[in-house]
Amino acid sequence: MALPTKADGIRQQLLELGIDREIIHFDEGVHTAKAAAAALGIEVGAIANSLIFQMADAPLLVMTSGRHRVDTVALATQLGEGPIERATPAQVRAATGQVIGGVAPLGHPAPIRTIVDVALRDYPQLSAAAGTPDTVFMLTYDELLRITGGEERVVGD
């Protein structure tokens, strides 16, 4: 079966960055970190959730471990640039060109400041969305940092 167009675009971008990975396509979407982990046979903490927030009138991508929630108050204090609020579905699509539940760590129309949860380094392999709610790919913590240019931070409880 052919990959969705967005997922194939993510695969191409990964290849251009020297990362040759299979895009895993689920027959049905996996709408939670727990469901994705079960489908992949990995720990929920190894799911690199891509969450879009708004901070200082700009999008902020937080790549967080599926084992916890983002503490927006603590993260805003660390960054010192004002409050962080969850983006609306329209803001997510405008910033990423992708829908909630399928936001990849790359493939956005313009660069997005990215924060990478240090809890993700506890896992040898991570899973990230590949541009659609029913596609993912595997990568390492170091690869995630490299492809996003992300800043390492403690983001959750």
pLDDT at 43 (0 to 100): 96
Q: Where are the domains of the chain?
A: 5-153
pTM higher than the cut 0.85:
yes
pLDDT at 34 (0 to 100): 87
pLDDT at 113 (0 to 100): 98
- The stretches in the chain having pLDDT less than 70 are 1, 29
pLDDT at 1 (0 to 100): 67
CATH superfamily of domain region 5-153: YbaK/aminoacyl-tRNA synthetase-associated domain (3.90.960.10)
25 CB contacts (<8 Å, ≥6 apart)? 1, 3, 4, 7, 134, 135
Q: Taking Cα atoms as reference points, which of 27, 21, 49 lies closest to residue 138?
A: 21
What digits encode the pLDDT tens for the residues 43-60? 999 999 999 999 999 999
